[in-house]
Amino acid sequence: MVVLDFGTERDWLLGCAGNARDLVLRWRARWPGLRVVVMGNSFPSAAQALGRAPTGEFPRSGRLALLERELHRRVGASARVAYGDHGAVHVPSEPGAEWPPGLVRIDYTRQGEWRFERRLRSTVDEASQEAASAIVSGAPGFGERGLWGEHAIQEAANGRAFARGREEWTAVRVNLHLATQVDEMIEEAAAYTRAPCAAGSPSSC
């Protein structure tokens, strides 16, 4: 098995797809049974720089497209390569700067994008409740998937924040990110099995 890992640079992640596809085709021609996994990480390492903000404040809200599944599709999807995922996590080469006291960022993944809400308040609990409430109110059908990450956000919105630090909210993000990717793969597989019917070939349904 070979793992093609295109790393964590969001800006050029999809630009690698063409070269990766050609490389996989050459490998398959030489080693027909070779199993290849393609992966990358499109979650930015410095998400605090993204989003909209009133003058003089931290960016409060933002949206960002997930690119991992698109990378997989461009290389050839499941017909050619298996899917790998970093889980929207970065391993820093050195410790990052500490966040200011009372700063919270919550990331929510659904339908091919991240939505993030950031708040800086006098206490972490206050910031968590405000950011979580913005996520819940802006996401139709929030909680329908029954995910632990959604439960943690809902609890924070209700004033019962379990996650208070950066590490805890990162765990919530990972849970939601991986669940969303699995949901998309299941939907794609279901669409693929329905395709012959749509094409008018009932015998292959």
The bridge status of strand 103-110 relative to strand 82-83 is unpaired
pLDDT of residue 203: 44
Name the residue among 84, 67, 87 with its Cα closest to residue 4. 84
Q: How many domains does the chain have?
A: 1
pLDDT of residue 147: 94
pLDDT of residue 112: 86
Only one residue has tokens 């809400």, namely 117
Cα gap 135→124, rounded to integer Å? 16
pLDDT of residue 57: 59
Cα gap 137→72, rounded to integer Å? 32
Question: DSSP characters for 10-34?
Answer: GGGTGGGHHHHHHHHHHHHHH-TT-
The bridge status of strand 113-120 relative to strand 61-65 is antiparallel
Burial class of residue 121 in the structure, from the number of CB atoms within 10 Å of its CB (0-12 exposed, 13-18 middle, 19+ buried): middle
The bridge status of strand 113-120 relative to strand 103-110 is antiparallel
Name the residue among 142, 161, 133, 169 with its Cα closest to residue 48. 169
pLDDT of residue 55: 52
Q: Who has greater pLDDT, 50 or 3?
A: 3
Name the residue among 167, 190, 168, 186 with its Cα closest to residue 178. 186
Range of the domain at 140: 2-91+98-204
Q: Which amino acid is at 19?
A: N
pLDDT of residue 204: 44
* Res 140 pLDDT > 90: no
Burial call 26-59: b when 16+ CB within 10 Å, e when fewer: eeeeeeeeeebebbbbbbbeebbebbeeeeeeeb
pLDDT of residue 202: 42
Tell me the per-residue pLDDT of 38-53, one tens digit each, with 9 for 90 and over: 999 988 876 554 555 5
Query: What is the value of pTM for the model shown?
Result: 0.81
Query: What backbone torsions phi and psi does residue 56 show, to the nearest 5 degrees?
Result: 85, 0
Name the residue among 56, 23, 62 with its Cα closest to residue 43. 62
pLDDT of residue 96: 56
